[in-house]
Structure 1
Amino acid sequence: MARRLLIAAALLLAVSSCGSEESSLEPLKVKTVTGVKTATVQSTTVEEKETFSGTVIPDQEIFISPKVVGYLIEVKATPGKKVKKGEVLAVIDSSDIRPDVEKAKAGIKEIEAALKEISQAMEEVRAHRRAAEANLLLAEKTYRRFEELLKADAVSKQKFDEVKTQYEAAKANLEAVKAKEAQLKEREKALLAKKEQIEADLKKASAYLSYTYLKSPVDGVVLQKLVDSGNLVSPQTPVFKIGTYPLKVRAFIDNTYAGKIHVGDKVTVKVKGLKLVGTVSEVDRSSDPVSHKFGVKVTLPEAPNVIPGTYAVIEFPISSRKEISIPASAVYRVGSLEYVFVIENGTAHLRLIKTGKRKGDRVTVISGLHEGETIAVSGVSKLCDGAKVEG
């Protein structure tokens, strides 16, 4: 009851202020006020957020070990260094492997020289064979002709024997050339087989030699260096731990939020003074029976200064609501009461409102106003209930 009386008194005070200069014996005139700015009341969607602590982690963690046994003689990568796929991270002593490579290369060079000589010899033998075949063809024709002449007693037996001897010699010469050609081919075949074997040995030795350069198999960042220079390493020795991109934030969320966080949701991540928009990429389907929390992973956009292990804060939107805020200049105060002037058909109507938090030059309205209504936002001290408003 007391509140109603207070409101009534305030309204009477506001109304009487409009006509304070008028005589109480004269009829009340409606006051017209100019220079008043108005605005339409609008609502905005406000998201209710909950924050959780997390840690930046790589997409994957890979342990890198050598494929050969040897002493680590040089370390090129240190923790925190970003590396590219194929980049050399460390070097292993190759003194036991390199001689095998050099020996194989020398063997191949020697065989190639021998093959070159054989190739030249083959060209000569082929030329001899062509000449021997031509000579045999001529000797055979001569022999056949003298054979017919001998039958007709047109040539002496001695002359025929001479021609026959030349024919037999031509055949023997061709066979000798063919034998030489076959011999060269066999030698060439043996050399090629030997070269193939040495090339296989060279390939194997070269592979082992390449293994003495420990390379990154992925683009990523060095998380740990596990072995120092000078130590003996083997395929069972992890030397580096590499993390891959994109980076993620791992956080553990209270069970009360189960079902409210989904893969694909966009969330705000604060890390190292940066405010990033991440995407929920994993949500655990079960929670820890002790902590009653479930794990969530949020994939981060590229952020050059962020490294695995960094502390991060994730803001998850839990719910949303409509909120009305108006310029603080629109609020008309009478004592502890707050009013606004609602403009309807060019007339100002004083209305009691309840406000909440102030944000900069705006104030939140908890009750008393509705979206779409028009209110005065400047010159409110010149207004009174029922006043006519002109722009």
Structure 2
Amino acid sequence: MSKREVIGAKYKTCQESEKELLADILDNFPQTFNSEKAKSFSGDFQFLIECDNQIEQFVIKVRNTQFDILPNSFSKNPYLNIECSFEMFTNITLNQFSPILDILSGKIKLDKGLFSLLRFAKFGALFSNRETDLHLPIELHHPAHWEKPQKILLVNGSPRKNASTKVMLDWFKEGLPVENTEVIDVSSLKMNKCLHCFRCWTDNPNDCVLDDDGTLFRDKITSADLIVFFVPLSWASMPSDMKKAMERLMPETTPYFYENKNWHGTAHPLHPYQKPQAFLQFLVWGFPERKHGKILEATFNEWATHSQKKNLGAIARPGVNTILSDPRLHKARKIIKEAIRQTAKSVYETGKIPKKQKKIIEKQYLDLNDWRFFATKYWVNKFKTDYWNRSTSVA
């Protein structure tokens, strides 16, 4: 048992006064100080702790890899004021608390609104060996220069595992390093819908109350450096399983609102365990025109705002079923496949979608009236009833 855990045990059994235990805790602080993370940092953390029905005031002064604890002191310009009970202060030092819930409930009082949360996260980084245990919100900053992703996740959002969406995914995968790439089929996940209970915000930050594959999906998303979503258009939106999976990513965010200047709008801060990530959309549908995918792109653009993931853009393959099935488009299929493979390689190496390859992938290779005729004929041949022949006249 560590010294801090011993102190916590003492408190729970009331073997010493709170004031004596506070002195023990402060004596132990040098063991938790992370001087590496304190480089170039200067600031005073001022505490007001209720001990034995009295207020104990002290300042933890940090100056570039060095710190001092000043009992009964007052800072004229503190980096952060923190006010709480002795019990809560003990829990903070033991990493046995829920900052978001405790701050919202008033058990921990800070003095600078949302800005103070980021400063409280700084305190956790300087005086904890487990920074991520604090689960405090941050704003991500993406590297100025692209770094090749070490872990790539390809998400098949189609309800049919081996349909046209999967073909596009397989072609894209050919342009990526095999050892860095993983594929997940959303339709194979046993996952309940999000309850919108917000207990991932209030009860246990970052954890969902549903014990199913939704947690697995979120863990896969969180650990990847590059995510490529392969999503078919389904009734002017994404398929229901894909939408359900996206909603299960809510625990990534925190219940705060602030102005994210990178995205020019209001957003949720994230937890400190999260790293800068990038994602790409590969959208497919049966209609021949490119404009049908606008609503899907808008959905992913909005998700980028709240998830703070870098949106590399969208690639679309309209009329995908025709491309894959029409024998007249045999040469076009080969050209598109190679363009997709080259696009994957470029995205991996540079983080950019090459304009030339994108144009090839999204090109309409049949006359629209020709496409409409053969698409209609395709479905007529599948009819198992004469209902349509009796009730509808198809020109």
* Between structures 1 and 2, the one with greater helix share: 2
Task: Give the strand-richer structure, 1 or 2.
Answer: 1
Query: Normalization by structure 1: what TM-score?
Result: 0.21
The structure whose RCO (Cα within 8 Å, separation 6+) is larger is 1
Greater Rg by CA: 1
User: What TM-score results when the alignment is normalised by the length of structure 2?
Assistant: 0.21
